[in-house]
Amino acid sequence: MELLANLGDGFAIALSWQNIGLALLGCFLGTIMGALPGLGPSNGVAILIPLAFTLGLGATPSLILLTSVYYGAMYGGRISSILLNIPGDEPAMMTCLDGHPMAKKGLAGEALSLSGIASFVGAFLATWGLILLAPQLVKIALLFGPAEYFALFALAFMTLGGVSSTNQAKSAFAAALGLGLATIGVDTQTGVPRFTFGEVHLYDGLDFLVAIVGLFALSEVFIFLETRHGGSDAAGRKLTIGKLYPPVSMIRQTTPTMLRTSFLGFIAGVLPGAGASLGSFISYSMEKKLVDKEGTFGTGDPRGVAAPEAGNNAAAGGALVPMLALGVPGSGTTAVLLAVLLALNITPGPLLFSQNPDVVWGLIAALFIANFMLLAMNIPMVGLFTRVLMIPSRILMPIVAMVSFVGIYGISGSTFDLLVMIGFGVMGWVLRKLDVPLVPIILGTLLGNSMENNLRRAVTIDNGNWWTLADSPLSITLWAIAIIGFVLPLIVGARVKAKMHQRRDEEGAISD
């Protein structure tokens, strides 16, 4: 009952004209960003963060705008998967397998609307999952002391390494790099400057927003310049959609698939380190094993379209659970959303639910509203978004670059930050070439300070005894999960990950 009351309060917040407008804008921009190959949820949200700040939006409106973009991108990714066989973003990769064959059979409209419905079901159920699960997780998190938090952060980094890259050493490298970057600046405990080399601009530390926009958005521009990929992927192809509404029998046939994969995707999203890509991947694989008796998967089976779409949208909702309840994001885009919260001086975690219930429940209510908006946008209006695919990247990429600059300059007004951003852009480009995942770097710069503070607090409380980090049952459990999460993929995961990152090009580094 308390839950419904909270939800009611949330709707009261979300149903203001401003918030509805922001959700609509976010859904629209998100769908476009998801649809365009090259712009995905994480860099789409990254570009918009500085703008949300400079507009002077409060915490709830900013989050509504940006999570709508996130949900929207999950919907939008399928459009180019189905029509062009090019995933609009990484989670939509599995949708290519059956979506494009359906389009070839002349069922493009059915595939688009069916995947839209599947996306809706996945996201809708996952939002309920978020409501039910997050408060439970908060209850556990309230038992955490500094030592447990330190173990939890370690767990996040170690499991993230297991999923985000094919090479564990490179994920560990990326995490250490991010944590190292976070230590730049004045030490919060003793007030001594560290790694600043006398540069006054560095005393505050590196702004993680600058790092995020540089690593995610600017490095994308460099990739396009390098390959001189200036045209539009849709050029010279006819994008016929045909009949828009799927027959009832098709929906009935795919309903069990959608329900099963929503559940599975949600679980995949909640797990630390796993994001929407994993959600859609395991959803598709499981459905294939379970119902593909005639071997129709891969040849345009509607169930093969519904499975990954319900899976990735559910995973997107699931990934919000650890981000909101524990302050530890499970995927790239939720890491970016965490950056928003931190920059707004809101610390996610158990206290968020008691101190800022308006933010949490306003956000959840907005997610429901956004979901209905997205359903409306993505079925009747899908033709509008297919036209977006015609924009060649030689026009799009300069705009992306300039908007990134405007956003960062708008926050700080300093040329130094712009130069740091360019530096991060180049670093991101090199690391993507080397197949080093970028998400652990972002997570490191975001969580580095609180990870160190918790470590020092825990050890100081216990008079300098380092074993305090692993002497409660809770922290031992967390360490055990962390170690299993790191070691297990070394043994069994290589094959799965190799399949998941089949497109082993630069996209893999920002997989979500």
Partner 1 sequence: MSDRIFGVFGIILAVGYVIAALAIEESFLSDAVGPKAFPLIIAAILALSGAVIALRPDPEPHWPALARLAEVAAAVVVLILYAEMLPVAGFVIATAFAAAYLAWRLGSGPLETVAVGAGTSIGIYVTFHLILGLSLAKGPLGF
Is the CB of 298 or the CB of 410 nearer to partner 1?
410
Q: Which of 167/255 has CB closer to partner 1? A: 167
Q: C-beta of 434: minimal distance to partner 1 in Å? A: 6
Phi and psi at residue 138, to the nearest 5°: -60, -40
* CB 252, min distance to partner 1, A: 46
The CA distance from 250 to 255, in Å, is 9
Least Cα distance to 435 among 43, 178, 165 occurs for 165
Residue 362's nearest CA partner among 62, 41, 26 is 62
Spatial neighbors of 127 by CB under 8 A, at least 6 apart, are 317, 364, 367, 368, 371
- As a 3-state breakdown, the chain gives helix, strand, coil percent values, each rounded to 5, of 75, 0, 25
Nearer residue to partner 1 within complex by CB, 372 or 416: 416
As a whole number of Å, the CA-based R_g of the chain is 22
Shortest distance, CB of residue 510 to partner 1, whole angstroms? Answer: 16
State how far the alpha carbon of 52 is from the alpha carbons of 105, 263, 407, in Å: 43, 32, 9
DSSP letters spanning 13-32: HHTSHHHHHHHHHHHHHHHH
Of the two residues 120 and 424, which places its CB atom closer to partner 1 in the complex?
A: 424
Alpha carbons 240 and 111: distance in angstroms, whole number: 12
Q: How far, in Å, CA of 437 to CA of 92, rounded?
A: 19
The residue among 177 and 474 lying less far from partner 1, judged by its C-beta, is 177
Question: Nearer to partner 1 by C-beta: 362 or 508?
Answer: 508
185 forms beta bridges with 194
Name the minimum Å distance from CB 196 to partner 1: 10
On whether the CB atoms of residues 378 and 31 are closer than 8 A, the answer is: yes
To the nearest whole angstrom, how small is the minimum distance from the Cβ of residue 488 to partner 1? Answer: 17
Residue 371, helix vs strand vs coil: helix
- Smallest gap from Cβ 56 to partner 1, in A, equals 9
Minimum Å distance from CB 64 to partner 1? 17
Quote the CA–CA distance of 428 and 302 in Å, as a whole number: 38
Cβ closest to partner 1, residue 4 vs residue 192: 192
* 290 vs 422, beta carbon nearer partner 1: 422
| Cα(397)–Cα(386) distance, integer angstroms | 18
| Distance in Å, CB of 188 to partner 1, minimum | 9
Residue 221: phi and psi, rounded to 5, are -60, -40
- The residue ranges that bind partner 1 (CB under 8 A) are 51, 54-55, 166-167, 169-170, 172-173, 175-177, 179-180, 183, 187, 189-195, 197, 218, 221-222, 224-231, 393-395, 397-399, 401-403, 405-406, 409-410, 413, 415, 418-419, 422, 425-426, 429, 433-435, 451-452, 455-456, 459-460, 463-464, 505
- Residue number with CB closer to partner 1 (114 or 179): 179
Task: Measure the CA–CA gap between 36 and 42, rounded to whole angstroms.
Answer: 13
Phi, then psi, of 12 in degrees rounded to 5: -60, -35
**Minimal distance, residue 511 CB to partner 1, in Å:** 16
Task: Please state the closest distance from residue 222 (CB atom) to partner 1, in A.
Answer: 5
Decide whether 418 or 484 has the Cβ nearer to partner 1: 418
Shortest Cβ 465–partner 1 spacing (Å): 9
Closest CB 308 distance from partner 1, rounded Å: 27
Q: Cα–chain-centroid distance for residue 423?
A: 23
Q: Which is nearer to partner 1, 344 or 406 (CB)?
A: 406
Q: How many angstroms separate the first and last alpha carbons of the chain?
A: 35
Is residue 252 exposed (0-12), middle (13-18) or buried (19+ Cβ within 10 Å)?
A: exposed
**Residue 186 CB contacts under 8 Å (≥ 6 apart), including other chains:** 192, 193, 194, 196, 203, 204, 205
CB of 397 to partner 1, least distance (A): 6
Q: Which is nearer to partner 1, 54 or 347 (CB)?
A: 54
**Residues 360-379, buried b or exposed e (16+ Cβ, 10 A)?**
bbbbbbbbbbbbebbbebbb
Cβ nearer to partner 1, comparing 196 with 347: 196
